[in-house]
Structure 1
Amino acid sequence: MNIDATTLHLQLPNLYLFRRVTQLGSFQATADALQLPRSSVSKKIAQLEQHLGLRLLQRSTRQLNLTDAGKELLIITDSLTDLLSNTAKLTEQAQAKPSGRVKISSSTLIGQRYLLPLLPDLKRLFPEIVIDINLDDRVVDLIELGIDIALRVGQLPDSSLVARQIGIKSWACFASPAYLQDAAKLDKPSDLSAHQCIIFRHQKLAMDHWHFCSPSGEIQTIHITPATASDDGRTLVELACMGMGIIRIDPILIKPELQAGKLTTVLTAWHHPDAAPIHLVCLEKEARSRAVNEVWQYLSKELTQVLNQAS
């Protein structure tokens, strides 16, 4: 009889039963151990023999004896026991405590100010989890880079990712007192043309159009000719603190600089007309490891709390 190799994997449960029968010495003992009817055990062994075209066991009223083919099959399937045992150990370890690598992506300032301070407590809770942090102000491909969890600002396109809103991002304009001391007047957005402005820019994006809403509700968009540009949010803040010019940024990201008097708000009567949601995004639940799911749940709760407090 020719064996259909393409369906041989379907016999794995029957191979396991065969090995248990040889270990326990009878169909009845195997049936009792696995809580199966004796007839089911006998039927499945018969199915295995039929598929292989081999007699594996010689049956008698008192005992079962392995045929030569049965002895050979027992030898060549010996690794099946190790496979099942190792799989069981893996499951036990996963259930005992979450472990493995979790890669998290964030923009630089949100990551530095709000994500990084949460990591010590996260590591105390889950010491077996390796946290891999990616801070980058460019929009990166999460799937391509193997990122498990990410903080993202703005509306998200439809995708296989799950998004949970954890905060709201707004914008305002700031400069250092040293810069403003000798600067031209700055009463309205059009006055920015006489000022040094610092913008965020990288290869695919230049944030050089600043939007304003007047006290009466009028919307203005000002095209900024930058004096300085950077693709790193932390650098923008440092440049502004050094007196290099005016930046537009979310106030919650520069609270330390505002409290220390390093930066001050300008154009206070004019606010940004829009706000953008801050999302924590992650793979679908079915695609997450336990480690990723635990970190996702922790960050969802803690980041929501700290960002709402900061607003």
Structure 2
Amino acid sequence: MNNKLQAMEVFVQVVDAGSFTRAAETLQLPKATVSTLVQSLETSLSAKLLHRTTRMVTVTTDGAAYYERCVRILSDVRDAEESLSRTRLSPSGRLRVDVPTGLASEILIPALPAFFERYPDIMMELGSTDRPVDLIEEGVDCAIRGGELGDDSLIARRVGIINFVTAASPGYLERYGVPQHPRDLERHRCVNYFSAKTGKTYDWDFRRGEERIDIGMRGVIALNDSNAYVQAGLSGLGVIQMTDYLLTQHVAAGRMVQLLADWTSEPLPVHVIYPQNRHLSAKVRVFVEWVSELFANHPFMHLRAVPRVGSNALPLAAMETVTAGAAAATMSS
């Protein structure tokens, strides 16, 4: 029975990943073992579960029906095991998480000692990138992302919100002057942020009461990493829009100056996301709860109405919006 359950788990992973090779890497098994276990399932069922070509792995009609049953069975088995063990109290195992770079360096990583003190048996693999990862294809258990979720294959829990302001270094302002209105920025040097997925440069937006202005800036440089983006502003390359959790310390130290303080930018919701066809294991569950608690007590991340930004507060970093299709598995071997 254990061999049958392992074969079912391997089959589910192959379907999720769309590849024997990627499934083997995720499960840390030899590719030959993965192939043998799937073949043994097909033999015992007297049914073909997968179509295999040199470039593609796709599920058959029988395989799709069997996959749905396997997911439910494996979920029930894990629930039964957890209910009879201390897993819920002391979850263990590898947890793969992906987080935007600025949020990882400034908020998540400094708080992780408290997480590991609470859950010492979890081993975390933390990816730090502003690129929207494919959770299923890349074997990621969950991710933190900003923006509205547009993919029905993902479950999202809203855990926070981020806001944006505009800033520049004192040296830059001394040389180029201080803009008094968002339209003045069209005559300034600006630092743009572009999507790591599409290559599209994001417009800048400003709100004041009923007024709303969206501007496509002609920048001298564009970046797709929030930490590098902050450094570009500190280096005097131009005006930036950035997150308060990344810039407040620089404003307080006089390294950056807030601009257009009576204008705000569109805030972004922050979600923890994970695939809906995956069992929400105890380690993922406790991480989601811990992140929710962390953000709820954080001055810049907790869910709230958009705050009035003070003269010495400086905000928010670009975070890739989760869009439809971002987590769709590519069925290639």
TM-score, structure 1 normalization = 0.65
User: 115, 120, 129: which one pairs with 1:136?
Assistant: 129
Task: Please report the RMSD computed on the Cα atoms of aligned residues, expressed in angstroms.
Answer: 2.8
- Contact conserved, 1:208 with 1:226, CA < 8 A, in 2? no
Q: Distance in 2 between matches of 1:129 and 1:143?
A: 21
Alignment correspondent of 2:102: 109
Query: How far is the alpha carbon of 1:114 from its aligned partner?
Result: 1.1
Q: Which residue of 2 aligns with 1:305?
A: 297
268, 277, 283: which one aligns with 1:276: 268
Work out the CA distance in 2 between the residues paired with 1:95 and 1:308.
26
SS in 2 for 1:308: coil
Aligned to 1:246: 239
**What is the CA-CA distance between 1:184 and the residue it aligns to?**
3.4
Q: Distance in 2 between matches of 1:304 and 1:207?
A: 31
- The match for 2:150 is 157
CA distance in 1, matches of 2:204, 2:81: 58
Matches within 5 A, 1:168-183: 168-183=161-176
> Superposed, which structure 2 residues align to 1:112-131 within 5 Å?
112-131=105-124
Equivalent position of 1:145 in the other structure: 138
Higher relative contact order (CA 8 A, sep 6+): 2
Q: Does 1:264 align with 2:257?
A: yes
Aligned 8 A contact 1:285 1:293 in 2:
no
Question: 1:94 Cα deviation (Å)?
Answer: 4.0
In terms of mean alpha carbon deviation, does 105-114 or 253-262 score higher? 253-262
Q: CA deviation at 1:276?
A: 1.9
The equivalent residue for 2:75 is none
Query: Where is the helix percentage greater, Structure 1 or Structure 2?
Result: 1
5+ residue gaps, structure 1: 1-8, 10-86
What TM-score, normalized to structure 2?
A: 0.61
- Are 2:219 and 1:223 aligned? no
- CA shift in 2, pair 1:155/1:96, >3 Å: closer
Alpha-carbon distance in structure 2 between the residues aligned to 1:300 and 1:179: 38
Distance 2:138 2:236 in 1: 37
Preserved CA contact (<8 Å) 2:234 2:255: yes
- Unpaired stretches in structure 2, ≥5 consecutive residues: 5-79, 308-333
Q: Does structure 1 retain, via aligned residues, the 8 Å contact 2:144–2:270?
A: yes
| 1:284-303 superposed matches below 5 A | 284=276, 287-303=279-295
Structure 1 pair 100–219 and aligned structure 2 pair: CA distance change class (3 A): same
C-alpha change, 1:203 and 1:298, in structure 2 (3 Å) is closer
Change (3 A) 1:230 1:286: closer
Say which one has the larger Rg: 1
Closer, same or farther: CA 170–88 of 1 in aligned 2, 3 Å: closer
State the secondary structure of the residue aligned to 2:177.
coil
Counterpart selection for 1:166 from 159, 164, 172? 159
Maintained 8 Å contact 1:184/1:194? no
Cα distance in 2 for residues equivalent to 1:170 and 1:199 = 17
Percent of aligned pairs with the same amino acid:
27
